[in-house]
Amino acid sequence: MSELRITAVRSFCTQPAGARLLIVKVITSEPGLHGLGCATFTQRYRAVEAALEHHIAPLVAGRDPRDSEELWNLMMLNGYWRNGPVLNNAISGVDMALWDIKGKLAGLPCFQLWGGRSRPAAAVYGHAGGATVEAVAEDARRLLAEGVRFVRCQMGGYPGLGGPEAQRPEGAAPGRYFSPRERLEAVPRLFEGLRAALGDEVELLHDIHERLAPIDAVWLAKALEPFRLFFLEDILAPEDIRWFERVRAVCATPLAMGELFNNPQEITPLIAERLIDFIRVHVSQIGGVTPALKLARLCEPFGVRTAWHGPGDTSPVGMAANVHLDVSVPNFGIQEWARRTPLEYDMFPGLPEVRNGYVYPNDMPGWGIEFDEALAARHPCRDGNPSWTEARTPDGALARP
Ligand code: MG
């Protein structure tokens, strides 16, 4: 097969569960040979769709799909400005599809293209939540009973506890409110209660979602140290990452960071200076598997482990790619796993399955996942903007998510 060309790039918006998913299919000149990729930027998926149709698809049309490295650089550099979330996701859709094609051509699962398995399966963490410490503990017990040994625990959902309405000034906008002060009090209380209720063996995680003043983040990481978290996630906003040095200086709470990162310049100093323990980027958000593999290799000698972002707004295709990376790279840490719906399993045959706290890739070539386009067409995306990202502090001001 010396002549092989990309003949079309198609994108599909579908919403089989809560999140709007954007799936990319790269079609080649070889009959029946195509690849699937994830381009899901669930909050701005129409912008990604337009970037793919008008800019990325014409750029790669007629090119050899086996040249994934050259094509990734072409897609990233051709627009001159780069490393933004819309274009990174569009590039990821094609990049992942090219790796899928490469695996299918070789007759191998993608993880075999990168050195094979370092482990047979990837440990996952699930999400437990509730309004009280007791409710969170009860929800965590449900996961433990399924064999999951790592549990992310949140009280009060996002953005957290609302704070008293009486504190708001006249004219405060409606919406979701949270009190940083209450949160600082509540989170250590939550983990003290969870250790008492669940014991010391379970691995506990917590996500701050960037919503603290930097010095409060330093205080909280220190306050949580006695409860031996597996990791504390996104304790600082991307704008505040220089504060990680201060956090490191006062405690040994393991730190995970990265789901909002787009640009390698944001990530590299944290790794090289050993300021975080887990890199937690959203693989499509940084431009796909090509940069994710490089990032994992960069992290390895610095002792930083991978924890790819994996909630419901990572598509099943993106999750398959995560799992291939997880079983392959030696410095894998943990995989976030949101429960997928029966409809998602129907729409994406081959979607990896979790058994007894581990997720397993299959041995099919490429990502080992298919996509039922007809079924997806019956579940189109419903347009709209998210509301959970709009959180306000008690004085009515918007907080950064
Ligand atoms: Mg997070």
pLDDT in the model for residue 39: 98
State yes or no: pLDDT of 30 exceeds 70. yes
Taking the centre of ligand 1 as the mean of its atom positions, its distance from the CA of residue 183, in whole angstroms, is 16
Taking the centre of ligand 1 as the mean of its atom positions, its distance from the CA of residue 261, in whole angstroms, is 12
pLDDT in the model for residue 290: 98
Q: How confident is the model over 309-336, as pLDDT tens digits?
A: 999 999 999 999 999 999 999 999 999 9
Q: How confident is the model over 172-223, as pLDDT tens digits?
A: 998 888 888 888 999 999 999 999 999 999 999 999 998 899 999 999 999 9
- Whether the CB-CB separation of 92 and 84 falls below 8 Å is answered with no
State yes or no: pLDDT of 161 exceeds 70. no
* Mean pLDDT calculated for residue range 363-367: 97
Taking the centre of ligand 1 as the mean of its atom positions, its distance from the CA of residue 370, in whole angstroms, is 27
State yes or no: pLDDT of 366 exceeds 90. yes
Backbone angles phi and psi of 284, in degrees to 5? -70, -25
State yes or no: pLDDT of 371 exceeds 80. yes
Q: How confident is the model over 381-390, as pLDDT tens digits?
A: 999 888 888 8
Q: 395 exposed, middle or buried (CB, 10 Å; 0-12, 13-18, 19+)? A: exposed
Q: How confident is the model over 33-78, as pLDDT tens digits?
A: 999 999 999 999 999 999 999 999 999 999 999 999 999 999 999 9
* Mean pLDDT calculated for residue range 226-255: 97
Alpha-carbon distances of 307 from 93, 277, 318, 324, rounded to whole Å: 20, 10, 14, 13
Q: How confident is the model over 95-148, as pLDDT tens digits?
A: 999 999 999 999 999 999 999 999 999 999 999 999 999 999 999 999 999 999
Would you place residue 9 in the very low, low, confident or very high pLDDT band (cuts 50, 70, 90)?
A: very high
Taking the centre of ligand 1 as the mean of its atom positions, its distance from the CA of residue 236, in whole angstroms, is 11
Distance of CA 121 to the CA centre of its chain: 18
pLDDT in the model for residue 163: 67
* Mean pLDDT calculated for residue range 255-263: 95
Q: Which residues are marked as active site?
A: 158, 209
Q: What is the mean pLDDT of the chain?
A: 95
pLDDT in the model for residue 137: 98
pLDDT in the model for residue 22: 98
Taking the centre of ligand 1 as the mean of its atom positions, its distance from the CA of residue 95, in whole angstroms, is 24
What are the structural domains, with CATH classification, of the chain?
6-108 (3.30.390.10), 113-366 (3.20.20.120)
* Mean pLDDT calculated for residue range 142-167: 85
pLDDT in the model for residue 199: 97
Residues with CB under 5 A from ligand 1 (ion): 207, 259
State yes or no: pLDDT of 159 exceeds 80. no
Taking the centre of ligand 1 as the mean of its atom positions, its distance from the CA of residue 283, in whole angstroms, is 13
Taking the centre of ligand 1 as the mean of its atom positions, its distance from the CA of residue 308, in whole angstroms, is 10
Taking the centre of ligand 1 as the mean of its atom positions, its distance from the CA of residue 232, in whole angstroms, is 10
Taking the centre of ligand 1 as the mean of its atom positions, its distance from the CA of residue 151, in whole angstroms, is 13
Question: Letter for the amino acid at 350?
Answer: G
